[in-house]
Amino acid sequence: MYQYIIGDIEEINEDNIVIENNGIGYIIYTSKNSIMNIGQNTLNRKIYTHLVVREDVMSLYGFTSKEELEMFKLLITVTKIGPKVGIGILSAMNPSNIKISIMSGDTKALSRAPGVGKKTAERIILELKDKIGDNIMYDEGSNATVPIDETEEVIVALNSLGYTRNEIFKALSVIDIKDKKTEDIIKLALRKLSK
């Protein structure tokens, strides 16, 4: 129903924000990653949203990036994964690491998120592995030919060097790729792959 809301962030709480738009304050539940991304920059922010309607309540879930929103929507399609667990997973890992964990079958990494045990992690992998493989997300403000998910660039580069996708995902699942440049991720992955 709502693709995004642009407004000033009036409150930042542990698991939600309040964004004011045209005199209305919207409570938007979000991940810790999005809260950290907001930081001190609270004026005129764009929050990508997803409306969840239950029998007795309507709730807005939102994120600072389209990539995080799309991963949230994928996660809540998994059997017995609701919005709260989806937010928990996105608070524990960024979308790139979630994608790598799913593609490499890394239940341990997914199990670190609150509310996710080994069986739930296995279900996430089983139900999303095929959906994630072809799912490259793009940032609205960027050139449409450049994927927001640098992981895909890394995978293509390593694949062209002769490594299989499975080998690549296993290598990427054990390195921290957050806030690293594509070249640095490739170097780290090559070190793991050459062992």
- What is the Cα–Cα distance from 63 to 106, expressed in whole angstroms? 25
Is the C-alpha dihedral spanning 16, 5, 64, 154 positive or negative?
A: positive
Annotation: CATH topology of 4-64: OB fold (Dihydrolipoamide Acetyltransferase, E2P) (2.40.50)
The confidence score (pLDDT) of residue 17 equals: 97
Is the model more confident about 96 or about 20?
20
Query: Lowest mean pLDDT: which of 50-59, 113-122, 130-139, 161-170?
Result: 130-139
Contact criterion met (CB below 8 Å) for 34 and 62? yes
Q: Are 78 and 41 in contact (CB under 8 A)?
A: no
Superfamily of domain 67-193: 5' to 3' exonuclease, C-terminal subdomain (1.10.150.20)
Residue 134's pLDDT is 52
Q: Which is more confidently placed, 76 or 193?
A: 76
For the residues 55-78, what does the mean pLDDT come to? 96
Q: Is 67-193 in the same CATH topology as 4-64?
A: no
**Predicted confidence (pLDDT) at residue 148 exceeds the cutoff of 80:** no
Structural domain boundaries of the chain?
A: 4-64, 67-193
The pTM for the full model equals 0.73
- Give the per-residue pLDDT at 147: 42
Report pLDDT for 7.
97
> Average pLDDT for residues 5-28, to the nearest whole number?
96
Q: Tell me the average pLDDT across 53-68.
A: 95
CA geometry: angle 17, 137, 122, nearest 5 deg: 80
Read off the pLDDT of each residue in 44-48 and give the average, rounded to a whole number: 97
Packed helices 165-173 and 95-104: angle between N→C axes, nearest 10 degrees: 130
